[in-house]
Every structure is written in structure tokens, then in C-alpha cells.
A and B are shown apart, each in its own frame.
Chain A
């Protein structure tokens, strides 16, 4: 645990040089989603299931903003570790475990994802003029957290195992575009082709988005999707760890 703390401290020190970029990104990302996606679509479809569209997309903004931040942070941390700074070679000579090395990048991404979620909750609350009760907020955040965990794991894997920078960008773009525009975060699932929507409804990652929206509309939200997402995130992390364990000291 102590070594993870040291590695996290190193992440904070290393990111001092880009603190302004990180701050602007975290502050502006939810606003950009609200202004560039929320406002235009509100004019096309003012209501979704009897709720104002601008209220309905709030969970989508939370999820996409925090998931993107966590995913990209994990990816950048993993990429730097493996390919850019020879950091891995330095770490491997220290008395720390491969698990600590992996976990530090993952936890760093998680922290940034949670910071982004907090900022998104505050900003969307200010923009739509609605703040939720602690109970409702807690239930919604509980649905968002598993997706942050999952995308932190995914970012770590992508940053470690895809060596070409261009391929990483293309794959990241594909994943984030798909999850942003194809998951029902900003566009209700019933507007997609029926077959596509049916396939998506079976995915726990889409279920997390759907459940958060349901809780917002005072409908019931299932915990099962969140649980499955957490398990998938942990499974990915364990697989990633096993492969790293075998390959890092090859």
C-alpha cells in the first residue's frame, strides 16, 4: 500500500506541468457536452418520457465525462509507464510488485474520474437548476461508479498492450464515440434501430446508463448491471495483471 501511495504521489508530481490543461479539461468537458449536445438536441426533442430533455441527459453527461476522463487518464498513465519514459524498467528494479505498479495507474485514473464526476454533478446542477437529495444522488452515483471502474481497467489495458500511438488514438476514439453516442446517454434508446437497441439493452454497461436515468425519473434502478460491471472491471484488471506479471520481466 505504501508503494502505491508513493507511485500516486509521483503521478501528482508528474502532472504538475500540465495542471492547467487538466483543470480546464475537467471544468470544460461537462459544459461542452451540455452546450454542444444537450442544447441542440433539446430543441429537436424537448421531452423524453415526460421529462425535460435537459434534465434527462444529466446522467449521460456525468457518465460520459467521468468515464472519458478515467479512461484517458488510465491510458496515458499506462502508455507512459510501458512505452514512453522507460518508467517500467526503473520500477522493476525497486522492491515493488507488478500489482502495485498496475494498481497505481488504475487508482490514479479512478481518482481523476471521481473528480470529474464531482465537477459534472456540480456543473449540471447549476445549469439545469436542480440539485438532488442525498439519497437520490447516492443511488445515481452508485450506478455511475462501476462504469468508471470498468473504463479505468480498459484504459490501462489499452495503454499497456497497444504499442502504436496512432492505434491507441483510433481505438480510444472508437470506444468513447460509441459509448457517448451509441449507449443511450444522449439519445433515447427507442430512437435507435430496434435490433441495435435490443442488443444494447443486454449490456450491463448500457444498463448502468439506463438505470441512472431511471433513478433520475424516480423509477426503479437495478443493481445487477452495476454489479456485473464491477465484476467485469475487476476481471479485466486481474487478466491485465496476470499478463503483466508474465510479460513485464520477460
Chain B
């Protein structure tokens, strides 16, 4: 499949600190890539480089084979960007915000207005079109920003934490909208919401310290855990800390965590579980739960260097 977005050995520094370091990855046309990463990992920087809000220091960034630095006019024409911070022009009404932005993308007033109305209906803010941004709730502001990113019908959609701070209904409305693009538009979104990443991504990239630690489909990412299972043991009373200390010292037990009466840890082999159960018997264990490792577990394990 043809590449829609390509990063080649890209580096970017802020005040001498590397935000991105030798970053290379690609996104195929019509697919959804989700970037997950902790705060400051470089997620927003990737999106802002693609959107044209900033320039890379080293390397090359392409959208549809066009260098975003050398052919910014063309790449910005085909990309729509929803920034993390809701940025609307406070001196214009919601409708004017959308029309002016559409016109800056060379749409006629009539077309921009039609698109604005269409998105207002789809994202459920048509009652606010004549209002100024200052009277909008956070959720509505976010939806208007999303509409602005889509008003010129971009081929590449860049979303920075698209559902951050939205109520469940608004989140569903946003995802219903984005679902319609599946297979037609390239979507790159950054999030810290692992559920959304698992649910919507074709591919997931785990970003850490400005570089991608792991990248692939959810299944492939989970394969890297090589059968790692999460175990939770519930005790009648809180066991002593010594139990946790012993588990921490066991190289086959990963990320043991004791919170109140609940002990949580990861292990690969069943006999390792039995060994732990033996240690726990003295403290009256009540229940044992097992579950497959989730993206969040993998992410924490990778970024903390424990898996």
C-alpha cells in the first residue's frame, strides 16, 4: 500500500532538549495510526510538524510524497489538524470561524458555508453557529475545532487528543464521525486513551522519549509480550510488605504491586504463578483473577523498561 505519511530520521529540539530523536515511521493511505505516549513524549510535536505549525531540525517529513517543508502549501491543503488546545478566533462567530478557515483553503464562501452546516449537524453544534466561541462549553469548542479541521475535506486528518475532556456522548459522536472516514482518509491521532487506541487503530505506535519503541497492529504488539498474563490475588487482610519485597526480587515476576488487600503482578509461566501462590498461602488469599495483558500494561512496561 502507498505511504500517506512518512517520517525519515526526524529530529526536533526545544531549548536544547530533544523532543524527537531520529524518528522514522510511515502511515499507509486510508489507515488509522494511533500514537500513544506519556506527556512530553513528542506526540504533539509529530502532529504539529505534519500540520505545518513548526519545522523539523533534521530529517524529512512527507505527506503523500511531498516534503512538508518544501511543499508546505500542498501538504497543508490536504491535511486537517485538530490541535490539543482548542484554538478558535474569538472575534468571529462559530460559523465565521469555519467559513474563513474554509476560504483560506481556497473554498468559495458558499461551499465553506455548506460544509460548515454539514459538520455542525454531524457534530451536533448547529444551534451555536451564530454564537461567539466565548459562550461555548469545552465540549462544543472541541467539536467546532474538529469541524474546522475537516471543513476543507482533507485527505489526511491529524488529531491531537481528539476526545480529551469530552463527555461520553460527545466522544461517541466524534468517533462515529471518524468511523465514516475509515478506509478513505489517513488518520493519525495521538491519545492517552488506550481503550480508544485499541478500539479504532489499524496500527499503534508507542512513543517514548521522542522515538517509537514499538509499532504495529494491536495483535502484533500483544505478541511481543510473549504470553505475559496479569494476575490479581485478593487477600482477606492486607499482607505484609515483605511479600512484595520477595516478589520484587523474583526475576520472573513483572511489576508486582500491592495495594491494600490486592496484589497484582505479571508472569509468563504457570509454575511461576504457583510459586507465588505458595508464598501467599500464609496470608489467606481469597480470590485469584487472570487476564490478558492490555495495551496499557504493555505501554507502562515498555516505557518503564520493565518488560
Interface residues of A (CB under 8 A from B): 2-3, 6-7, 9-10, 13-15, 17, 80, 85-87, 89-97, 249-250
Using known A-B contacts A13-B96, A14-B89, determine if residue A92 contacts B52 with beta carbons closer than 8 Å.
yes
CB distance from A24 to the nearest CB of B (A): 19
Closest 7 CB pairs of A and B: A14-B91, A94-B104, A86-B87, A95-B76, A95-B77, A6-B103, A95-B73
Residue of B nearest to A86 (CB): B87
Interface residues of B (CB under 8 A from A): 51-55, 72-74, 76-77, 79, 81, 83, 85, 87-92, 96, 100-101, 103-106, 148
CB distance from A89 to the nearest CB of B (A): 6
7 additional A-B residue pairs with CB within 8 Å, beyond A3-B104, A17-B91, A91-B104: A6-B103, A9-B103, A14-B89, A93-B53, A94-B105, A95-B72, A95-B104
Choose one: B87, B100, B105; the contact of A95 (CB below 8 Å): B105
Is A249 touching B54 in the complex (CB atoms < 8 A)? Answer: yes
CB distance from A105 to the nearest CB of B (A): 14
A104 to B157, CA, bound (A): 28
Q: Which residues of A contact B92 (CB under 8 A)?
A: 10, 13-14
Q: Which residues of A contact B91 (CB under 8 A)?
A: 13-15, 17, 80, 85
Is B76 touching A93 in the complex (CB atoms < 8 A)? Answer: yes
Q: Which residues of B contact A90 (CB under 8 A)?
A: 87-89, 101, 148
A90 to B72, CA, bound (A): 15
27 contacts between A and B (CB under 8 A): A6-B100, A6-B103, A10-B92, A13-B91, A13-B92, A17-B91, A85-B89, A86-B85, A89-B83, A90-B89, A91-B104, A92-B51, A92-B52, A93-B51, A93-B52, A93-B76, A93-B79, A94-B101, A94-B105, A95-B72, A95-B74, A95-B77, A95-B104, A95-B106, A249-B53, A249-B55, A250-B54
Across the A-B interface, how many residue pairs have beta carbons closer than 8 Å?
65
Residue of A nearest to B158 (CB): A93
Q: Which residues of B contact A249 (CB under 8 A)?
A: 52-55
A13 to B103, CA, bound (A): 14
Q: Which residues of B contact A80 (CB under 8 A)?
A: 91
Q: Which residues of B contact A85 (CB under 8 A)?
A: 89-91
Residue of B nearest to A11 (CB): B91
Q: Which residues of B contact A9 (CB under 8 A)?
A: 100, 103
CB distance from A226 to the nearest CB of B (A): 35
Q: Which residues of A contact B96 (CB under 8 A)?
A: 13
CB distance from B223 to the nearest CB of A (A): 37
Is B104 touching A6 in the complex (CB atoms < 8 A)? Answer: yes
A6 to B53, CA, bound (A): 20
CB distance from B83 to the nearest CB of A (A): 7
Q: Which residues of A contact B105 (CB under 8 A)?
A: 94-95
Q: Which residues of B contact A89 (CB under 8 A)?
A: 53, 83, 87
Is B81 touching A250 in the complex (CB atoms < 8 A)? Answer: no
Choose one: B73, B90, B100, B106; the contact of A10 (CB below 8 Å): B100
Q: Which residues of A contact B88 (CB under 8 A)?
A: 90
A145 to B18, CA, bound (A): 48
Choose one: B51, B77, B81, B106; the contact of A2 (CB below 8 Å): B106
CB distance from A90 to the nearest CB of B (A): 6
Q: Which residues of A contact B106 (CB under 8 A)?
A: 2, 95
CB distance from B114 to the nearest CB of A (A): 17
CB distance from A113 to the nearest CB of B (A): 21
Q: Which residues of A contact B79 (CB under 8 A)?
A: 93
CB distance from B285 to the nearest CB of A (A): 55
Q: Which residues of A contact B52 (CB under 8 A)?
A: 92-93, 249
Is B53 touching A87 in the complex (CB atoms < 8 A)? Answer: no
CB distance from B188 to the nearest CB of A (A): 14
A17 to B148, CA, bound (A): 23
Q: Which residues of A contact B103 (CB under 8 A)?
A: 6, 9
CB distance from B141 to the nearest CB of A (A): 12
CB distance from B75 to the nearest CB of A (A): 8
